Structure 1
Amino acid sequence: MQFTKPLFLLLSAACLSAQLWAQAPVVDMNSPRAGAESNRSMQGEIYQQLQQLRQEMMTLRGIVEEQEHQISQLKQQGLDRYIDLDRRLGSLTTGAAGAVVGSSSTVANAAVDAGSDAGITGEAAVAAVTGADVVNPPAVSAVPAVASNGNESSDYTDAYALVRSGNYDQAITSFLAYVERYPSGRYTPNAWYWLGELYVAVKPQNLKASTDAFQYLLSKYPDHDKVPAAMYKLGTVYFLNGNKQKSQELLTHVIDRYGSTGNSAVNKSREFLRKNF
């Protein structure tokens, strides 16, 4: 029996379709095998979702750690600004110049020797070395109004916070208001000390105001804990003003008078003399 070509092709296609249908698996969705395959598919999806969540958590954890590090750095920078104030005058170079301030260097030198030999302490020694025969405080008139809590401790803390944050001009205003508001306050000597520091830290520097603040502190509170540091700072301000001989005399006096106390002003005075004289 002979087949025509079209009929032959039709029969061949039918045979092939029957073979493919025989090979295709028939899956019953109610069978245990179908349930297992469905569970495996769901487990795979859940696993992928968990992996994605882990990646997102790791990313968020990294962001939190970075923010914590930045906050820590900001806190440290605040402390560093305070330390930097103490270093500025200590790193002055011999190129600093200005007007000569203070009394005769010869007289001051004689006073240092006399004070050391006679064991003079307190106000007499300070005045002899620095020429700080100051009776009245430097003028603080026309100070802009500064908010006050009515508590000298709180007001001092607010003013000092401006130093730590680097707002030196505002800190000067706050400390001037403080010494005017609390002329006999517990922290007033410290306020005068910071005024001496800040007048050098701002731009442009006000060396005359810095000298006045330190000298008033030394003459008014000769036995205060800030006296050694104020002497050292005043010695560096004299150097800035071009009065190198008086600077050397005052720094030498700090070493002679406080050398056995372990005060940090002693080492700073030695280092400044070593670098600049």
Structure 2
Amino acid sequence: MTKRLFAGVLLSSLVLCAHAQGTGPLAIEDRSAARSMADAASGEKPRSAPAMSEDGLIMLMQQQQQFEEQVQMLQGQIEELRHELQVMKDAERERYLDLDTRINSLAEQGVAEQSEGGEGAAPADPEADKQAYNAAKDNLVARDFDAAAEAFEGYLKDFPNGQYRGHAHFWLGQVYSNQKTPQNDKAMEQFQAVVDDYPDHSKAPSSLYTLAVMQARSGKVSEAKINLHKLIKQYPDSSKVSQAKSLLDQLNG
């Protein structure tokens, strides 16, 4: 036993000396290997590796905290995007519901429109005037907006004294703003035409309110406020007055 122990110690010493002479100070791995050989030769148990330093542990904890903060930030961004998407969906749904209501109302207006008449001078051919307007209106009821736009444009061009021009301008404005690719500038022009050319028309208050809404959305807040005040003053009995006041409060808030 003594001879074996002596031989092990001697072998370890020779290895250490050889490394010191040939390569300088031993690397950590070499030292560990030499220590293991010495332990094996002497019959001792291998020594365990040193525990992680406090600085290394602190660094790992800091990295974990950074990762958790990044995950929380990404989750917050996802929630914001979800909220914005829901707001857009709600606005789109409200817009189409409003259009549906208007279209359903339009389908029931035939008799009322005929009784109004007199929006301008009598057309040369009242029956052709009526048929052209009804054809355009049918496209709108069928939600064929492109065909409706073309038909209303044709009506306004072909019947400069048509008895339904006020309605045609209003519905053409609705069509432009509800096309797959909305043409908001053209829509506002049509609503403005109703307000300017047919101030006593049944669609004048709705045209004025819709015009103000579109102006506010496009950043023309001062113009929108002017039209809302005009609506409240000129059409105090209109059902749009309460909506106009509510929108004014929002724009002033």
Q: TM-score normalized by structure 2?
A: 0.48
Give TM-score scaled by structure 1 length: 0.44
Compare relative contact order (CA 8 Å, sep 6+) and give the higher one, 1 or 2: 1
